[in-house]
């Protein structure tokens, strides 16, 4: 098990980094294969801004 430094990686070991990479790639593949309707960019940005505004006002 290789020890990674915080400067090089947010993971404590190569195994953790590889496990995250595999998980992330699976999520992306699932999303790309989805047949759900897409959300237009302007709507997605408005939804993101609403979350930012909600937390900014707390």
The secondary structure of residue 45, as a DSSP letter, is H
**Contact between residue 17 and residue 4 where contact means Cβ atoms under 8 Å apart:** yes
- CA 8/CA 23 separation, integer angstroms: 20
pLDDT-based confidence at residue 51 (cuts at 50, 70, 90): very high
Residue 3 main-chain phi, psi, to 5 deg: -85, 125
What integer is the mean pLDDT of 26-33? Answer: 96
Domain spans of the chain, in order of start:
14-56
Q: Which DSSP helix (H) or strand (E) runs through 29? A: helix 14-33
Give yes or no for residue 7 having a pLDDT over 90. Answer: no
């Amino acid at each position: 098990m290789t020890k990674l430094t915080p400067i090089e990686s947010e993971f404590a070991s190569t195994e953790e980094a590889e496990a995250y990479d595999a998980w992330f790639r699976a999520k992306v593949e699932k999303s790309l294969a989805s047949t759900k309707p897409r959300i237009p960019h302007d709507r997605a940005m408005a939804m993101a801004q609403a979350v930012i505004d909600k937390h900014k006002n707390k």
